[in-house]
Amino acid sequence: MKGTSAATVALPYDAVVVGAGHNGLVAAVILARAGWKVVVVEANDRPGGALMSGEVTRPGYVHDLFATNLNLFVGSPFYAEFGDDLARHGLRLRTSDFPYANVFPGGKSIGVSVGLEATLERLRQLSPGDAQGWQQLNDLYQRMAGTLFGVYASPVPSYGMAKVMAGAARTLRRKGLADLAQLLSSSCRELVDTYLVSDEAKALIACWGLHLDLGPDVSGGAVFPFLEAFSDMAVGMSVAEGGASRLVDALCGLLSEYGGELRTGVAVERILVAEGRAVGVELADGERLQAARAVVANVSPTALVGSLLAPGDLPVRDTKALERYAYGPATMMIHLALSKPVPWEAGEELQRYAYVHVAPYVDDLARTYTDALAGRLPAEPLLVVGQTSSVDPTRAPGEGQVLWIQVRTLPTRIGDDPAGSLGGKSWDEAAEPFADRVMAKLERYAPGLGAVVLDRTVLSPADLERQNRNLVGGDSITGSMHLRQNFAFRPAPGMARYRTAIGDLVLVGAGTWPGPGLNAQSGYLAARDLLVRARWRGALGPGRRR
């Protein structure tokens, strides 16, 4: 046992989960329900990782600090199985039938609401060709969604995924499969140029790409924005009533009901490996926790190999592959407390949309994305404006509003600043002046916004990483989602099934398939895999240590 003395190992858990992100908590709930003795160890004082709310501007104003849109979670197999239990533990959803809109110069806007006809009507006013193209894209979505969401919910590669593809071959036939292959390989610009006419309608879909790191010209970048744009039109957008942490509280409540433990405010420093198997963890305060059956690491792939494992624990090939794992551009969050709703130039009707994208056009997205990769601060930051109060009015008192502004995509390190004087500064120095630039942009689309701002809190890329070490460099998605690091290549070729070359050590979280977002998938699939393997071991007889 490398550096591990059995005498210092204290509590015999079945599983130790490193990190209380939602995937870690989901894995812990599933294992604990199966009777395993589970502990989740979280470095932060509060669980949830990138899912957390707080009154960060003024008392009574509850902001989702990071993730807010719960659609992926609500659509997950985990929620299908545990939704009622989470409700018992206090989770309530608030859903908007007006999921997203885009604004453009000159007071123009276009919004998508639940139901095809209402959206088509708005698009017809832009151009009849846009309405026709949107209808065709919606038809494509209806044909492809079952297959694409089926793959999304399966381990890759797996028998389950093969079954989904076999079903697709039967229903889609050769032409449909060719359409699917073309969709999977297209860039977003290629997709929207094929179907839509106006620059405004094209931006409506393309803006979703930059929620990940899918600039409009990235190959394979069409699928996510396509799915998000049309699934939101089908179901609207949901947030947790009272704040994102209510979902975390419900997960922790369920864990505790099943006898699981949560320890916060202490980091795991090392994963202990003996004879090729993970046997426990060592905490920052020196305490060691024994894991008789598994260690589940809800950590970034580079942290796993860079600090938690000792050199030589993993085979050289896997070590090198994980060291090469690539992160995407950074994100900044600006939280505003407002005395009134946003005074959009495009009109009050925009106030009811959950998200308003302020980019504005596909070429702007392409420029912003290239700037970020080249280390340039964008002159025109891409903004996702979350009008959380319009979805969940409980978040602020009286007429007050909370506004969630996600600034995508930014350089991890600031090289040049062609539009200003922030070149070469650290994010700690540049955060507030850059937030002023963001506010100035927003003011052009919502004149008078400044006058209704009561307070603001800025979280720079550096703050994001300080808050959650998985957000490396402030990358909100914990690793690029380009094709070379997606599907069976996430986090690295041969490592997409959560298992590692170290026995009983599994890696979950945004850095593993199916990637970032509140999809609860990796925690769910990895925990179920552990249970299946434990049953097999039981069937094959004793031999597992306790």
Instruction: Name residue 415's amino acid.
Output: G
Q: Which helix (H) or strand (E) holds 436?
A: helix 427-445
Q: How far is the CB of 344 from ligand FAD (least distance, A)?
A: 21
CB of 68 or CB of 119, closer to ligand FAD: 68
- By DSSP bridging, strand 288-297 and strand 505-507 are parallel
d(CA 150, CA 257): 31
CB of 187 or CB of 470, closer to ligand FAD: 470
The verdict on whether omega for the bond into residue 155 sits within 30 degrees of 0, i.e. cis, is: no
CB of 51 or CB of 172, closer to ligand FAD: 51
Sequence-ordered alpha helix ranges (H) in 34-109? 71-74, 77-88
CB of 35 or CB of 265, closer to ligand FAD: 265
Are 397 and 386 spatial neighbours (Cβ–Cβ below 8 Å)? no
CB of 343 or CB of 509, closer to ligand FAD: 509
The SS3 of residue 534 is: helix
Q: How far is the CB of 167 from ligand FAD (least distance, A)?
A: 26
CA distances from 447 to 182, 233, 442 (A): 42, 29, 8
Read off φ and ψ for residue 139, nearest 5 degrees: -60, -45
Q: b or e along 481-498 (b: 16 or more beta carbons within 10 Å of the residue's beta carbon)?
A: bbeebbbbbbbbeebbbb
The SS3 of residue 43 is: coil
Q: How far is the CB of 330 from ligand FAD (least distance, A)?
A: 10
d(CA 129, CA 110): 15
- The rounded Cα 329 to chain-centroid distance in angstroms is 14
The SS3 of residue 270 is: strand
Helices 128-152 and 223-235, interaxial angle, to 10°? 100
Q: How far is the CB of 114 from ligand FAD (least distance, A)?
A: 18
The candidate with the shortest Cα–Cα distance to 85, out of 253, 240, 237, 217, is 253
The contact set with ligand FAD (CB under 6 A) reads 18-24, 41-44, 49-51, 66-69, 72, 267-268, 298-299, 331, 333, 406, 464, 468-471, 476-478, 509-510, 516-518
Q: How far is the CB of 28 from ligand FAD (least distance, A)?
A: 11
CB of 48 or CB of 378, closer to ligand FAD: 48
CB of 158 or CB of 307, closer to ligand FAD: 307
CB of 156 or CB of 309, closer to ligand FAD: 309
How many other CB atoms are found less than 10 A from the CB of residue 241?
18
Q: How far is the CB of 357 from ligand FAD (least distance, A)?
A: 13
Q: How far is the CB of 213 from ligand FAD (least distance, A)?
A: 12
Q: How far is the CB of 303 from ligand FAD (least distance, A)?
A: 6
